[in-house]
Amino acid sequence: MIIVPEKEIAGLIGRQDAFDAVESVFAAMASGAAYNFPVIREAIGHADALYGFKSGFDRSSLALGLKSGGYWPGNMAKGLTNHQSTVFLFDADTGQAKAVVGGNLLTALRTAAASAVSIKHLARQDARVLGMIGAGHQSAFQMRAAVEQRNFEKVIGWNLHPEMLVRLEDTAGDLGLPFEAVDLDRLGAEADVIISITSSFEPILKAAQVGPGTHLACMGTDTKGKQEVETELVGKARLFTDEVAQSATIGECQHAVAAGIVPEDNIIEIGAVINATHPGRTSDEDITLFDGTGVGLQDLAVASAAVELALRKGVAINVDF
């Protein structure tokens, strides 16, 4: 069995590797070659932690396995990241354990890659202003991945706690882009692409604040009850997602579906756009929304890429099992 420790991941897999892996697995999902198994996510009654499993199988790449982990809100005080995860891969031909891969950085990379894939396939080609809602740990990964997809000239941002916006300002500076903190009215009016990456349970962005032609990547809603944008905004948009079942039940579209504003059939897998079986954006006036719920197949795809790179670079640990 192969072990790829968390400490090795940063030196193995970069944004392009993650992007390629996620784009490919979205395409495989839409073609029916890959599918996710039901998600398990539970409050364990200890340390205020949420713990669960995401798993699946990709017949095209033979990636089989699961990601195990969750959220421990007290970890920052212990010098650890609050999100903790590990990916387990199995041999699809025998069922034997194949690899154990540190999943913390991989989760950040694959989440950012998903929104970047949506920008590539759905945002207007002339998009120049990137809007960021949320300034937590994941926001820097999101921004770095997004700017590789369009010729952005400026980043604008909003966060519930304005003092945290320094993270966005510093990241934009590293990328050579000017940054401005704005209110939500300006953000919705000026941004061509908006990424929301929060843990909100109340809508932040309103339908009246977003103009025609905007692309939104809603990346924070992955649990029942969470919500980042108003249901009326979801109802105005052309809707795309990683997996329709999750979008309608735990993703950003859950509230609009429950309210009868959006039929579940109106939500399209982003893989259909990648595979050119759906047109995606049909005009520069469309508001497009990608509901990034996060699926196990994303984790298996990037973990499989990390294993291949670790073997190639000689940093994989082989153990008898």
Catalytic site residues? Answer: 67
Q: How many CB atoms lie within 10 A of CB 221?
A: 29
The DSSP code for 18 is H
- Give the ranges where 191-289 is alpha helix by DSSP (H): 231-236, 244-249, 254-258, 270-274
The DSSP code for 15 is H
**Dihedral over Cα of 135, 141, 147, 149: its sign:** negative
Q: List beta partners, residue 102.
A: 86
| Cβ 182 vs Cβ 157: under 8 Å | yes
| Cβ 86 vs Cβ 100: under 8 Å | yes
Which of 183, 177, 182, 126 has its CA nearest to residue 154? 177
Which tokens hold the place of 60?
Answer: 């095209």
| Cβ 5 vs Cβ 318: under 8 Å | no
- Give the span between the Cα atoms of 127 and 210, in whole angstroms: 14
Using only C-alpha atoms, the chain has a radius of gyration, in whole angstroms, of: 19
- Give the span between the Cα atoms of 304 and 17, in whole angstroms: 11
